[in-house]
Amino acid sequence: MKAFLTGGKQKSILLIMAICVLAVFPYVKTGYIVRFMTTLFMYAALSQIWNILGGFAGYISLGLVGFVGIGAYGTGIIMAVGLNMYVAILLSGLIAALVAMIVGMPILRLRAGYYSIATYAVSFILWQLSNNLIWLTGGGMGFRFKIANAGIDRINAYYYLNMLGIVIIISILCMIISKSSLGYGLMAIKEDEDAANVLGINTTVFKVVAFTISGFFAAIVGGIYGNWLTFIDPASAFDSNLSVMVIIMAMVGAVGTVAGPLLGAVLISIISEVLWNNFLFVHQMFLGVILILIVIFLPKGIMDIFMHREEKLSPRSLARILGENISKFRV
């Protein structure tokens, strides 16, 4: 994981090997585990996308799912006309980017909580649109994709690889952003927007660019998601739980880093899966308790353990980090 940050040679080789293992995985194993991993990748990708604006610039969006929904519906509608899946996904990505740009220009002038509320409202509006534009989306009855004519395992493997691909692409993009002038600008905006402005950063343009990028990629993930499920309806395509889960994952991992959201997505997915398997009725409660503990002990996220520490990781240093954090905790 840390190779994302330090870029050590050995670590990057390890990382490439890990990707290779993940890529052949659906040909070795089949069934539920592959579907679980696909969902995990989707969360990781969305968490990473949220991280571009939410993590680097501190603009917490509660409406990422809006763009996922645009992607899912857009792809379905364009494919119904008879276009290839990838062309449709790309087109719906561009549509979402355009929407993000137009919507972003006014709402990105808002700060902190007001911005979050506005993004939530946007995703809500999109949900209602999909509900009411029956001629286009099928309304509350949902929208059916064409089901591919192939074995179930092959279909599963296909969407697994697509999701894996998009996670890798977005992670590389985030890595580039974190080292580019866009990343520097966004980080400055997070720290102090007025200071950033005085330093010569056109804060509005930077935020809108980041918002547009995140809209584009969220829609691409949505497009793959829709094709994979083969059936979407307004309530599932614009489910605001998804927006919230994505934020939780990024925050558990560590916002503003590339590895953080990935780590958070893996961790939370696995924890919630294990809980769900073992305590079906109260799994949400246990998940809540675990999240609260993480927030108390590691408020900066799991990556806090690995980052900016001179000493090697050992049970002792871990205990010290947790102790430090808990001593800062105030009720």
Cβ within 8 Å of residue 53, ≥6 positions away: 59, 61, 186, 207, 210, 211, 214
Point out which residues bind another protein (CB under 8 A).
176-177, 179-182, 184-185, 187-188, 190-192, 194-203, 205-206, 209
Residue type at 104? G
- Give the amino acid at 294: I
CB closer to another protein, 198 vs 280: 198
CA distance 199 to 161: 43
- 153 or 193: CB nearest another protein: 193
**In the complex with another protein, which residue's Cβ is closer, 204 or 236?**
204
- In whole angstroms, the minimum distance from the beta carbon of 186 to another protein comes to 9
Task: Say how many C-beta atoms besides its own lie within 10 A of residue 272's C-beta.
Answer: 17
- Closest separation between CB of residue 251 and another protein, Å? 15
CB of 188 to another protein, least distance (A): 5
How far apart are the C-alpha atoms of 321 and 309, rounded to whole Å?
10
Q: How far is the CB of 212 from another protein (least distance, A)?
A: 9
Q: How far is the CB of 180 from another protein (least distance, A)?
A: 4
Angle at which helix 152-179 crosses helix 181-191, to 10 degrees, equals 80
d(CA 234, CA 246): 19
Q: Whole-number minimum distance, CB 91 to another protein, in Å? A: 20
Residue whose entry in the numeric block shows the structure tokens 């290779």: 20
Residues 156, 154: Cα–Cα separation, whole Å: 5
Name which of 194 and 311 has its Cβ closer to another protein: 194
DSSP state of 300: T
**Residue nearer to another protein on the CB measure, 190 or 237:** 190
Quote the least distance from Cβ 206 to another protein, whole Å.
Answer: 6
How big is the chain by its Cα radius of gyration, in Å?
20
CA dihedral for 260, 266, 267, 272, sign (positive or negative): positive
Q: Between residues 106 and 200, which has the closer beta carbon with respect to another protein? A: 200
Question: Which of residues 197 and 230 has its CB atom nearest to another protein in the complex?
Answer: 197
